[in-house]
Amino acid sequence: MSIISSLAHIHPDAKIGDNVTIEPFAVVHAEVSIGEGTHVMSHSVIMKGSVIGKNCTIFPGAVIGAIPQDLKFVGEKTTVEIGDGTTIRECVTVNRGTKDKWKTVVGKGCLIMAYAHIAHDCIIGDNVILANSVQLAGHVEVGNHAIISGLSGAVQFTRIGAHTYIAGNTVIRKDVPPYVKAAREPMSYAGINSVGLRRTKFSAEKIEEITDVYRILFLEKNTTSSALEKIEASLPPTAERNAIVAFIKSSKNGIIKRPSQNESDEDNTF
């Protein structure tokens, strides 16, 4: 049985699952779906076009499904989709999509910390952490298990690969390939995200395979195109190697820069 406060405003057309808790002064608009077991706290607003999964937690002040902050938006019918088990902390904003992708997506098991903003047409994978005040502009893509530290911001159309770690207060202007740490200004390669990879059960052998790829790409004196040729010619075609190569080949923005000569492959500052 759901627990819905009489002081909450729920549009009669909203679809509320079983065992949902909606606290006083929360607002749920029309054309909203909330999955079973989700908890919507006081003073949060779930707007038209929002699809909230099961067992999510929406903290006070969050606004899900507001229209895009995009002058090209002309009222097209778009959505926000929040995956099962995701936590949206205080004052987070997640905007609906535009006709580019027709939706904004936050995956399963994510933690979106206070004051973060996810703009229109962003696609966020599963088990992603956006720390406090991370700001994602429109059309940004974030892969599974990525962690973006506080006060960082990504410009439109950038891509952050799976299992990456972005240091705090970083400006993300270029694509960040999978499995790496990125930091500094301008943002550059800061080593393999070995801690994150171990936490998600990557073996020592897999981490070494990934390290070999990025040694050729970032630490040897190769152009990006010649590095890719060398990687494909000299390293066995594993799933991780192929994911890195495919990500870089498909990049429209270019990838982050190599570290300067006085910066090591594994800079433990980050």
Q: What are the residue numbers of the active site? A: 120-121, 138
Per DSSP, helices labelled H in 75-193 are: none
Two structure tokens written together for 252: 């429209």
Rg (CA), the chain: 20
Asked if 88 and 112 touch (Cβ cutoff 8 Å), the reply is yes
Tokens 């929002």 — which residue? 50
Which residues is 188 bridged to in the sheet?
Answer: 183, 257
Instruction: Say how far apart CA 124 and CA 118 lie, in whole Å.
Output: 9
Which residues is 94 bridged to in the sheet?
Answer: 64, 118
Contacts of 45 (CB under 8 A, 6+ apart): 26, 27, 29, 62, 63, 64, 66
